[in-house]
Every structure is written in C-alpha cells, then in structure tokens.
Amino acid sequence: MSVAEKKNVGKLNLYVPARTLESVSRENNISIDSLLKLAANENRLGCSPKVAEALVQAQSEYALYPDVMITKLRNKLAAKHGIEPADIVFGNGSFELISLLAAAYIDEGDESIYTEPSFGWYINVTKLYGGVPIGVPVGDDMGADIEGIKAAITGRTKVIWLCNPNNPTGTIIAPEVLTEFIDSVPDNILLVLDEAYIDFAEEKYIDTVRFTKEHDNVVILRTFSKLYGLASFRIGYAIGNPAIVTALTKVKLPFNVAYASQVAAYAAVNDEDFTNRVLKNNRDGLDYYYREFDRIGMKYVRSNGNFVLVYTGIDSNYLEEEFIKRRILIRNGAEFGLDKWMRISIGTPEDNRKVIEAFDDILKKI
C-alpha cells in the first residue's frame, strides 16, 4: 500500500500545457527542426541580444548564490513603475506567484472567483489549499462578465482572479468598468490582476499600478515570458502594498529566482528597441490575421495579447491534427472548453503566412 497523498492533492487535475515540439515530433515521427510552434504564446522573435551579452559577462558569478532580494532589477522596476522597491516581490514566473498568493490567502472552504475560460492554474491552486473555485462564464463577446463576477461574490469569497487581457480570449476590461469594479470589491477580498499580456494591449487602458496604491487588497502580476521573450528563464513579479509583499515573501522559497534569470531580465528591460520591434511585429501580425480571417469568412476575437482566438466551425481536434500534418502547432480551443475555436500565437510574417496557407489548404480538403 502506497503512502496516501493529501486529500486536496487528490482533487487536482494535472496541468495540461501546450504540446511541446519534442512530444509532437516523437508521436508523429516528424523532424523537430521542421515544426513551427505557435501554441504557447511564446515570443517568436526570441529575446534581446543584450541578454546573451549580459549572461557572458556574468559568468564569474554563476558559482555564487543569487541575490535573494534581486536588488538591481527590483530598483529598476520600482523606478519604471513609480513605486517603492518594497512594493515588489519576484517569482519563478507567474505560475509561482499565483501559487504563493493561494498559499498565503486561501484557507479551507474559501471561494475564489475566475473568468471561464481563463488561465487554468487559478483552479488548481485554489483546490490545493482547500478552496472552492467559482467560474463565471465570459459574455457573448468573449469578454469578462463583470456583473456576473459581482453576483458571484459571497461571504466566503477570498480571492478574485482577473486575467486581463484574458487568456485565451484576448479581451480586456474597459478602464471605466475596471475602475468601478475595483472600487466595489470589499476590502477583505484579494483582487489579483494577472497582466501577463498587458504590454500588447491595443485597446484603451490605464496604468493599473495606481490601484495598488489606492487599495490595500489589489495585487498586479507581470511576467518576462511574453514581451521580453524570457519564458525559459522563469521570472515574473507582483506589485502590491508591503503587507501583501511580506505575506508572499514568507511563503516563497528564499532563492526562487536564479541569478541568470535576474541578469537576463535586467538586460531585457533595458532594451526598448527590441521590445518596440516585438510590439510592431505583434500589431502587424494581428492586422494580417484579421484581414485574412475576414477573407476566409472566419469569426475572431480582436486581441490584446500576442495571440488570436478564431472560430473555425471545424472540430478542434481534427483541425489540430491537420495542422500538425503541415508541421504547425496551434492551440486546440477544446482544451479551454471552446470546441471549433483555435488559439494561434502571433509569429513572424512568414510564420503567419504559413498558418493562413494551411487554413486555405484544409478548407479546400473538406
């Protein structure tokens, strides 16, 4: 008889990430070098060349423990956002930060509210600590149903997770709606604004950092995985009042961000020429997809992320396999409860053309 796991662990589902190049290559006997991955919202332009230069220069420090306070990057980001260094806590990517928030704030029987569909990790961490996740479906426009979220608040609500812009829909909450909502949330509920894709927002928005100064119950999550192209380095940060930062610091591992990740992030945040190029490529890519989907006659959601969600009218599992036959990986919408939808990460102009050519080819076939 094996050792019994904790009862809350037994309630968890395994997290299902985007299929990897390695797994698709192995399962389909396809050369990994021939595959194009547009399924995980990774930065197809890579990262700033300054990152590689900085890592080489930092090699003499690799044998030492990293700065547990992440001082250099902390001070840089504090100046960038107009906040105090004490208002920032770093994590091993947004996954860890979300996990830390649940560890620090969710008790047995507490409820957490999230938009459905959205980032699935909110559900797992809530269940892990004995909480009850409450999903509020998006509206017909695929946007967050703010009135529905308000209606879902009860005396047991402890955390509200707002992925904004939302993944996988790409929608963003209008500034006036978001402001009114934050003002209306009771002070004893933690409101988490997960802004992994905020740099790509095309619609009118506001600097949400102000909310962390005006409200003690608001925390903002940011990542270096998307705009900066540092997904493999696993580094993100949370902004909140010192009480929230202290709570998260208590439950995190002391050395949770590697030195190389600190070096890479500092170099990346200092290269605005690169990030401007990434943003232009993303805008051009989205505009290209909108034109082509209009031509094809497919419905799509205008995106504020580095991806686009499109309704194909075709079974998502079938379509995913047809794309793999053409050496392209895009995300199956059925994984988010959105059958006949596909989420496509924005790539280079050549990448995007290959996707449209594949769509045209598949439509001719069926």
Asked if residues 311 and 340 have their Cβ atoms less than 8 Å apart, the reply is: yes
Q: What is the pLDDT of residues 188-235, one digit of tens each?
A: 999 999 999 999 998 888 899 999 999 999 999 999 999 999 999 999
Per mean pLDDT, which range of 18-32, 117-131, 145-159 is the poorest? 18-32
**pLDDT value, residue 316:** 96
| pLDDT band per the 50, 70, 90 thresholds, residue 33 | confident
Nearest 5 degrees, angle CA 348-CA 350-CA 356? 105
**Distance of alpha carbon 277 from alpha carbon 273, whole angstroms:** 6
In this prediction, residues 238-267 reach a mean pLDDT of 97
Asked if residues 166 and 188 have their Cβ atoms less than 8 Å apart, the reply is: no
**Distance of alpha carbon 301 from alpha carbon 290, whole angstroms:** 9
Q: What is the pLDDT of residues 50-90, one digit of tens each?
A: 999 999 999 999 999 999 999 999 999 999 999 999 999 99
Q: For residues 226, 265, 193 and 165, what is the CA-based torsion angle, rounded to 10 degrees?
A: -20
| pLDDT band per the 50, 70, 90 thresholds, residue 11 | confident
Give the count of beta carbons closer than 10 Å to the beta carbon of residue 241: 18
Q: What is the pLDDT of residues 340-359, one digit of tens each?
A: 999 999 999 999 999 999 99
| CATH number of the domain located at residue range(s) 7-46+273-365 in this protein | 3.90.1150.10
**pLDDT value, residue 358:** 98
**Distance of alpha carbon 351 from alpha carbon 281, whole angstroms:** 12
Q: How many helices (H) and strands (E) does the chain have?
A: 14, 12
**Which residue is it, tokens 């095309």?**
202
**Distance of alpha carbon 278 from alpha carbon 256, whole angstroms:** 28
Q: Is the pLDDT of residue 153 over 90?
A: yes
Q: Is the pLDDT of residue 24 over 80?
A: no
Picking from 275, 285, 294, the residue whose alpha carbon sits closest to that of residue 359 is 294
Fold of 58-269: Aspartate Aminotransferase; domain 2 (3.40.640)
In order of 83, 85, 247, 264, the CA distances from 241 in angstroms are: 10, 11, 10, 26
| pLDDT band per the 50, 70, 90 thresholds, residue 180 | very high
pLDDT cut 90: percent of the chain above it: 89
**pLDDT value, residue 22:** 85
**pLDDT value, residue 342:** 98
Beta-bridged to residue 115, according to DSSP, are 136
**pLDDT value, residue 291:** 98
Q: What is the pLDDT of residues 94-116, one digit of tens each?
A: 999 999 999 999 999 999 999 99
Instruction: Report the DSSP pairing between strands 236-239 and 88-91.
Output: antiparallel
Asked if residues 126 and 132 have their Cβ atoms less than 8 Å apart, the reply is: yes
Same fold for the pair 7-46+273-365 and 58-269: no
**pLDDT value, residue 1:** 61
Burial class (CB in 10 A: 0-12, 13-18, 19+), 232: exposed
**Domain chopping of the chain, boundaries:** 7-46+273-365, 58-269
Nearest 5 degrees, angle CA 148-CA 154-CA 155? 160
